[in-house]
């Protein structure tokens, strides 16, 4: 005597082919998704640890440019320090003082006054801050002074003991820096009593909000976000976005394949279900049988996929990551995170088959018999209403995402609106096909002949069977179109950003508070052979008509040009020719009035900068700090020569554009390699499922084909009939996939309205045609065998 669970297991064994395929689909999805997400989780955790080791808990550094005259320079005073500390988002703030001191025989030593706080110690990697009579020096400074621990040095005429020498190159460049207590540095440098420091280290809950408020409260303050994305972070984050897109694609394709496979499974078991129902099996009993079957399939698939993922993470992924140069990680398995992924995949995939499971359980014997009756697509009023409602909702969500200022919210809204639009097009597709075939019936009969018209008449009633094939093939081609275009556009965008950010071969960046004057630039030109040079500024504030415009310098060749960004022009209703009457503060904090005439409006590149003026403008000279120096070196000048020329500014860094371009190209091929591996698995699984579905559709119509054979259709004509239907449906899926893929790409790429879309048509069309040919060849071989063995 069998119980319900045993019956469910026996029925699974009766349709073992479909059960095995369903388990394989689930296992592949689980294996791919868990492997990618666990890798990204480990890489992200390691990156966060590295950032914390490099910067500590400091989110923002804010302050003023160094002035050699303590009386006329700008400082973080006690009042401004308290104001910053009392900001709602700020959690912790600590002052830092920068001075250039004489250390023994060395003049102009870069000296930092630090406090005994966690932010300072974490940022500068000091185990303990120096006391009143102590200093800490970097390794390069100890080499220059020929000093070591416990030796004495004289700083500005006062003796100090070296407490520690920092190890070289542990956290980047080994700049010659001396650290001492901030209060001691104030006393030996003649700093005013109400000064807290030259800049402050800030830990905040909202970095963007705090940076904006600081720029509004303090006119000439310079705000640097210490944890702004460098190239490594940007690579990992873009990789995370790409993997999330791949995960969504895998879930969707796997869900559709699983749904179709369950349909085939229950279709194969329809006779057994019919017998059970006629023998008196209740809806609850049949539901338990079907639920047990689906649970067995999903659990076995999840289990096999989890084991496969663990094996991949242990033995294969580390080698693959090293081979293609992805960010390295320790490949530990976070158990709770791993289990959460498995549960989420199980839940999402079950949602795809839930409706099918519930429907099968509720079917009566009469309904089961009527399932073989052909149903046509008919348009009704409620479908019109549903289409209208979904269209309006998706359009509103999409438009709201475009106008939203918040990047994350904008991405979510645009993605949601795009998916709703594509879903609506999927819903409308069969009705559009029916309408177009009906309208073109006479045209097909007149121009393509009786055979084409007969194929159309045979195809129309079976459209419902072919729709899942079209949807899966369309989705697969959409994934290829979107991801291929996304990767190429991302690579092109990164290349443009690098070339725009670094217009010349070499750049010297000024990430801290070095004061570089026009005389220093002239000295650099004399010491190094330079073919081209361009300066870039950090910016300051210009006050006009009761609003503040942040400005920066551009090289306009000495012309009296003033360019305003599009966002600022729209916000303050400004246009070319308008005159701005306002004032600014010079290097001695004196208020100076000036009139500016707007000569151009340019796209917004930085939301914190509104105006651009020439370096010769009064707004710039001795007020704005140099942020970057862009250079093209003469052929006889090396980077070592340039490094030697800027040795007096220890915190300046040299960046090569070619290195960044090479790195961006390397990241593109990393993502491309990952995409190709995932795509190969998806294509293999999808093509297998699609061929199986088409074969099942042909088998279901075996009796119909036998009747057509009896009424005079030759074997060759029957092959042509079946082949024409398969060719037509694969062609529709191919064309629809490319069109909807391009449409979806166009919609989602609105997230970056300023970016361009780089279509990789060679990859898209070659992949689509290759998939279609694989399916058609398999189906053609089966059709020939089917007609020969089953129909004749």
Query: Residue 443 contacts by C-beta under 8 Å, 6 or more apart in sequence?
Result: none
Q: Tell whether the torsion through CA atoms of 636, 640, 646 and 651 is positive or negative.
A: positive
Taken in order 60, 411, 398, 493, the sign of the CA dihedral is positive
653 phi and psi, to 5 degrees?
Answer: -125, 145
Residues facing residue 532 across a β-bridge:
632
Q: Distance between CA atoms of 111 and 98, rounded to whole angstroms?
A: 6
Question: Which of the two residues, 394 and 790, has the higher pLDDT score?
Answer: 394
The fraction of the chain above a pLDDT of 90, given in percent, is 0
Q: Give me the pLDDT at residue 368, please.
A: 47
Nearest to 194 by CA among 82, 92, 62, 64: 82
What are the distances in angstroms from CA 12 to CA 17, 358, 389? 9, 17, 42
Q: Does residue 137 have a pLDDT over 80?
A: yes
pLDDT digits (tens, 9 = 90+) for 660-689: 787 777 777 767 777 787 788 778 877 887
d(CA 24, CA 4) in angstroms, rounded, equals: 25
pLDDT of residue 197: 84
Q: What is the mean pLDDT of the chain?
A: 74
Q: Nearest CA to 109 among 139, 141, 133, 134? A: 141
Q: What is the rounded average pLDDT of the residues 46-59?
A: 68
Residue partners of 520: CB distance under 8 A and separation at least 6 = none
3-state secondary structure of 576: coil
C-alpha separations of 15 from 263, 289, 299, 740 in Å: 12, 14, 17, 35
Interatomic CA distance for residues 699 and 17, integer angstroms? 15
What mean pLDDT is predicted for residues 269-294? 64
* pLDDT tens-digit series, residues 511-534: 655 566 666 777 777 777 777 776
CA distance 152 to 159: 7
- Please work out, in degrees rounded to the nearest 5, the angle formed at the alpha carbon of residue 34 by the alpha carbons of 31 and 38: 140
Average pLDDT over residues 568-589: 72
Q: What digits encode the pLDDT tens for the residues 725-779?
A: 888 888 888 888 888 888 888 877 766 655 677 788 888 888 888 888 888 888 8
Residue 172 confidence class, pLDDT cut points 50, 70, 90? very low
**Distance in angstroms (rounded) separating the CA atoms of residues 299 and 294:** 8
* pLDDT (0 to 100) of residue 138: 82
Number of H helices, E strands in the chain: 25, 22
What's the rounded Cα separation, in Å, for the pair 246 and 675?
8
* Rounded-to-integer distance, Cα 577 and Cα 562, Å: 10
* Three-state SS at 294: helix
Which pLDDT score is estimated for 1? 47
Instruction: Please determine, for residue 272, whether its predicted confidence score (pLDDT) is greater than 50.
Output: yes
Q: Residues 107, 83: contact at Cβ < 8 Å? A: no
Residue pLDDT, tens place only, 309-335 = 778 777 776 676 666 555 555 556 677
What is d(CA 741, CA 475) in angstroms, rounded to the nearest whole number? Answer: 8
Q: Check residues 679 and 235 and name the one with the higher pLDDT.
A: 679
**Average pLDDT of the residues in 374-388:** 77
Closest by CA position to 611, among listed 670, 659, 552: 552
Q: What is the 3-state secondary structure (H, E, C) of 487-532?
A: HHHHHHHHHHHHHHHCCCCEEEECCCCCCCCHHHHHHHHHHCCEEE
Can you give the pLDDT at residue 4? 57
What pLDDT shows up at residue 263? 67
CA–CA gap between residue 250 and residue 29 (Å, rounded): 6
pTM greater than 0.75 (yes/no)? no
Q: Which two tokens mark 742? A: 């391009």
pLDDT band at 170 (very low <50, low <70, confident <90, very high): very low
Task: For CA atoms 31, 36, 39, 41, give the dihedral sign.
Answer: negative
pLDDT at 25: 74
Radius of gyration of the chain (CA): 35
Contact 57, 92 (CB under 8 A): yes
- Report which listed range, 162-176, 188-202, 371-385, is most confident: 188-202
Give dist(CA 788, CA 715) in Å, integer: 8
Between CA 717 and CA 736 the distance in angstroms is 28
Q: What are 720's two structure tokens?
A: 């042509």
pLDDT of residue 655: 77
């Amino acid at each position: 005597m069998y119980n319900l669970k045993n019956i469910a297991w026996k029925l699974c064994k009766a349709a073992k082919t479909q059960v095995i395929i369903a388990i394989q689909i689930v296992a592949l999805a689980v294996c791919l998704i868990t492997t990618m997400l666990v890798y990204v989780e480990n890489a992200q955790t390691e990156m966060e640890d590295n950032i914390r080791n490099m910067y500590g808990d400091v989110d923002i550094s804010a302050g003023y440019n160094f002035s050699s005259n303590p009386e006329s320079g700008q400082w973080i005073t006690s009042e401004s320090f308290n104001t910053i500390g009392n900001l709602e988002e700020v959690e912790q703030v600590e002052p830092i003082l920068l001075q250039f001191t004489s250390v023994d025989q060395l003049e102009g030593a870069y000296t930092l006054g630090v406090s005994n706080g966690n932010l300072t110690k974490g940022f500068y990697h000091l185990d303990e801050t120096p006391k009143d009579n102590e200093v800490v020096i970097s390794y390069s400074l100890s080499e220059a002074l020929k000093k070591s621990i416990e030796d004495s040095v004289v700083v500005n005429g006062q003796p100090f003991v070296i407490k520690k020498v920092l190890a070289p190159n542990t956290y980047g460049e080994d700049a010659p820096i001396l650290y001492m207590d901030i209060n001691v540095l104030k006393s030996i440098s003649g700093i005013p009593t109400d000064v807290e420091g030259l800049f402050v280290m800030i830990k905040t809950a909202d970095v963007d909000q705090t940076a904006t408020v600081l720029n509004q409260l303090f006119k000439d303050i310079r705000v640097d976000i210490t944890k702004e994305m460098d190239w490594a972070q940007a690579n990992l984050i873009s990789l995370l976005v790409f993997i999330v897109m791949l995960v969504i694609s895998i879930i969707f394709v796997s869900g559709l394949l699983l749904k179709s496979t369950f349909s085939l499974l229950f279709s194969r078991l329809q006779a057994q279900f019919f017998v059970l129902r006629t023998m008196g099996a209740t809806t609850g009993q049949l539901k338990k049988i079907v639920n047990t079957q689906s649970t067995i399939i999903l659990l076995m698939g999840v289990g096999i996929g989890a084991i496969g993922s663990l094996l991949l993470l242990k033995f294969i992924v580390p080698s693959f990551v090293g081979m293609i140069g992805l960010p390295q990680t320790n490949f530990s398995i976070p158990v709770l995170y791993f289990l959460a992924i498995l549960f989420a995949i199980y839940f999402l995939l079950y949602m795809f088959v839930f409706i099918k499971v519930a429907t099968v359980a509720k079917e009566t014997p009469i309904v089961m018999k009527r399932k073989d009756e052909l149903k046509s697509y008919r348009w009704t009023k409620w479908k019109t209403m549903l289409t209208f409602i979904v269209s309006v909702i998706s359009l509103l969500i999409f438009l709201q995402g475009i106008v939203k200022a918040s990047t994350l919210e904008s991405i979510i809204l645009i993605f949601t609106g795009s998916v709703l639009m594509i879903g609506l097009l999927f819903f409308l597709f069969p009705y559009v096909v029916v309408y177009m075939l009906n309208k073109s019936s006479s045209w097909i009969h007149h121009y393509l002949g009786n055979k084409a018209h007969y194929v159309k008449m045979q195809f129309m009633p079976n459209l419902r069977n072919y729709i899942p094939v079209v949807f899966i093939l369309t989705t697969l081609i959409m994934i290829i179109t979107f991801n291929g275009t996304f990767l190429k556009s991302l690579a092109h965008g990164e290349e443009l950003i690098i070339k725009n950010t670094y217009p010349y071969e070499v750049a010297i960046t000024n990430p801290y508070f070095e004061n570089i004057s026009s005389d220093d630039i002239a000295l650099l030109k004399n010491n190094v052979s330079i073919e081209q040079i361009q300066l870039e500024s950090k910016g300051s504030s210009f006050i006009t008509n009761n609003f503040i415009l942040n400005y920066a310098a551009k090289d306009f060749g000495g012309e009296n040009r003033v360019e305003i960004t599009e966002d600022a022009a729209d916000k303050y209703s400004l246009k070319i020719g308008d005159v701005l009457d306002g004032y600014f503060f010079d290097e001695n904090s004196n208020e100076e009035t000036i009139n500016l005439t707007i000569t151009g409006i340019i796209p917004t590149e930085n939301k914190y900068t509104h105006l651009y003026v020439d370096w010769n403008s009064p707004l710039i000279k001795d007020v704005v700090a140099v942020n970057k120096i862009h250079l093209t070196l003469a052929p006889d000048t090396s980077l070592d020569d340039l490094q030697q020329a800027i040795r007096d500014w220890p915190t300046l860094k040299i960046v090569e554009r070619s290195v960044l371009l090479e790195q961006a190209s390397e990241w593109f091929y990393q993502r491309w390699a990952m995409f190709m591996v995932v795509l190969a698995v998806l294509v293999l699984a999808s093509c297998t499922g699609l061929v199986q579905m088409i074969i099942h559709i042909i088998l279901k119509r075996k009796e119909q084909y036998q009747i057509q054979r009896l009424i005079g259709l030759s074997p060759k004509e029957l092959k042509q009939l079946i082949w024409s239907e398969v060719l037509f449906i694969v062609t529709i899926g191919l064309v629809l996939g490319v069109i909807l893929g391009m449409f979806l790409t166009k919609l989602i790429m609105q997230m970056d309205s300023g970016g361009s879309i780089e279509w990789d048509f060679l990859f898209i069309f070659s992949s689509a045609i290759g998939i279609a040919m694989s399916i058609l060849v398999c189906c053609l071989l089966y059709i020939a065998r089917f007609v020969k063995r089953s129909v004749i």
